[in-house]
Chains A and B, each alone.
Chain A
Amino acid sequence: MNFSPQKIEDLSPTGDNADGESLTVEQALANLESADLGLRFYAAWWLGRFRINEPAAVTALIKALEDEADRTPEGGYPLRRNAARALGKLGDRQAVSSLIGCLDCSDFYVREAAAQSLEMLGDPVCIPALIKLLAVGLPLEQLISKQPDLSQPYEALLEALGTLKATEFTPLVKPFLEHPMELVQYAAARAMYQLTQEPVYGERLVQALAGEKLQLRRAVLADLGAIGYLPAADAIAQTLAENSLKLISLKGLLEHQVNHITPSTFSEGAIKVMNLMDSLL
């Protein structure tokens, strides 16, 4: 869960681009085929950043998932990573089967980007493939070993399984609450809450808001916003982190309260959250 201030202070999708180069859709699509690998990499990012969900863009990005030209010295696939990230943002489920294919890629970051984008696209057809990767981190004996297992993008996998409501696989998610890495534990708690709606998992995240490390508190703010755990509202408002991040987290709680339609009436919870948000502006 990358929840950094850079991301918060990100440009708005207004079409003006302070990163140096302004593109048109046609240019971006042409640049994906350019001989200049830098232009390709940037174009893939740009198409996702500005949500260019046109069929031509989706087709071109799916093709870029097979790219062989752009390689890092370690064997990574930078263009594939950006294409996978962009496809999640474009919301076109045509990309699902190709992204599932990316879960077998040798590049960890391609696998991670694919899992995150599959979560965004929300098609449960990818659940078995996500579980296959997650199972690498099981059985539990391996988890408790001294060496944290970093072979798979567990955070992204767990978050996707929670969002996709893969309830039949709850027993495979639960052991990751004991993972040696805190970020993975939080991702597991987040997923367990989404899969079971049991407050104990929300409370686990609330406790983590009192932790020592700012980076971890930021991640937990994002998790609580994602699951909309209302009892966390006061703890979110009081934790030591940037107001920008608290406001986004509280907005997640608020939106869960009003169920994705503009409400005709307000619950007490919604009013409480809005008052907290007002106080953080």
Chain B
Amino acid sequence: MNNSDLAQILIRAVEEADSSDRLLDAVQELAAAGIEEAVPTLIAALGYNNPGAAVAAVDGLIAIGEAAVSPLLQLIDDYNYGARAWAIRALAGIGDVRALDTLLEAAKTDFSLSVRRAAARGLGTLRWHQVPPEKLESIQTQVLEALLLISQDPEWVVRYAAVTSLETLAIAIAATLPEQASRITNQLQQMLDTDVDLGVRTRVKFAQEKIQPQQHQEVFAPKRKLQDTEVSEVPHRGAGRR
């Protein structure tokens, strides 16, 4: 049996599922197959109002990656708000720069804190190597400006997500925009001094350690490698549930 036959069988199983548990199982099977032909069905599953199936579909779309970006971006204009939120999560997980404008807008303006959170995280997992060199500086500056704004969000979890992205961005721009790097370190220091939330302050401190390991004693995680903060790393969402 080739991929196409398998895809047809698995897609049919999703279409014919007659209970939420069956749907969940069928979407999980289809997502696990990682076949490009599954993209439209997985995207449809984002709108079934079945959180388990949506999580599985997001994971599957992230695994498929670039081939899913364009259909996801089209869905963003859809009226189905729930599906839109899931699509943002999938785009954030894929990290394709074609999603940049969508992520920027969602992180700054979406009324749902969980969408802002996912979009803020997505701004830190963009695959910079996809950006043409002549555009890199301007796009990184745009993301930096957005993250500085988002790091003042009223919700702790959005600020937390912004900190994770400021961390990866600081490491990425150390080579391309060194003169901008101080804006990140200043913002992080200000958050460390003034953020009302202990969890956020703790994550800020951790980000500072990762950005400038040479300035701190190796007092924690002695086995830590710099690869942990690879900018191209896609956050894996296997455990994610919404």
Contacts and interface: CB of A to CB of B under 8 A. Distances in A.
B113 A9 contact: yes
Given A240-B52, A242-B241, A263-B202, A279 B221 contact: no
Interface string A1-30: 000000011001110000000000000000
Interface stretch (A87-95, A152-160, A267-275): A267-275
B205 interface: yes
B201 to A, nearest CB: 5
A242 B51 contact: yes
Interface stretch (A57-65, A176-184, A253-261): A253-261
B221 A251 contact: no
Interface in B39-94: 51-52
B199 A255 contact: yes
Interface residues of B, number: 35
B201 A262 contact: yes
B198 A258 contact: yes
A277 interface: yes
A244 B114 contact: yes
A92 B13 CA distance: 59
A244 B242 contact: yes
A18 to B, nearest CB: 9
B203 interface: yes
A247 B157 contact: yes
B154 A237 contact: no
Contacts of B219: 264-265
Contacts of A12: 154-155
Residue among B117, B198, B199 with max Cβ neighbours from chain A (10 Å): B199
Contacts of B114: 9, 242-244
B112 interface: yes
Contacts of A243: 114, 240-242
A107 B39 CA distance: 55
Given A240-B52, A244-B114, A266 B206 contact: yes
B236 interface: yes
A163 interface: no
B164 interface: yes
Contacts of B157: 244, 247-248, 281
A230 B235 CA distance: 22
Interface in B173-218: 192, 198-199, 201-203, 205-206, 209
Range, interface on chain A = 35 or more
B100 interface: no
A281 B121 contact: yes
Contacts of A258: 198, 202
B221 A281 contact: no
Contacts of B202: 254-255, 258, 262-263, 270, 274
Interface in A216-268: 237-244, 246-248, 251, 254-255, 258, 260, 262-268
Contacts of A281: 117-118, 120-121, 157, 160-161, 164, 235
Given A12-B154, A254-B199, A278 B164 contact: yes
B226 interface: no
A271 B239 contact: no
A260 B197 CA distance: 10
A238 B242 contact: no
A197 B29 CA distance: 42
Given A238-B239, A262-B205, A279-B235, A255 B160 contact: no
Contacts of B220: 265-268, 271
A280 interface: yes
Contacts of A242: 51, 114, 241-242
B239 A279 contact: yes
A44 B63 CA distance: 50
A251 B52 contact: no
B164 A237 contact: no
B237 interface: yes
Contacts of B198: 255, 258, 260, 262
A245 to B, nearest CB: 9
Given A9-B113, A266-B220, A271-B220, A239 B241 contact: yes
A280 B206 contact: no
B114 to A, nearest CB: 5
18 contacts: A8-B113, A9-B112, A240-B52, A242-B51, A242-B114, A244-B117, A258-B202, A262-B201, A265-B220, A266-B209, A270-B206, A271-B221, A277-B203, A279-B236, A279-B237, A280-B239, A280-B240, A281-B121
Give the top 8 A-B pairs by smallest Cβ distance, nearest first: A12-B154, A281-B121, A251-B199, A242-B242, A266-B220, A265-B219, A281-B161, A237-B239
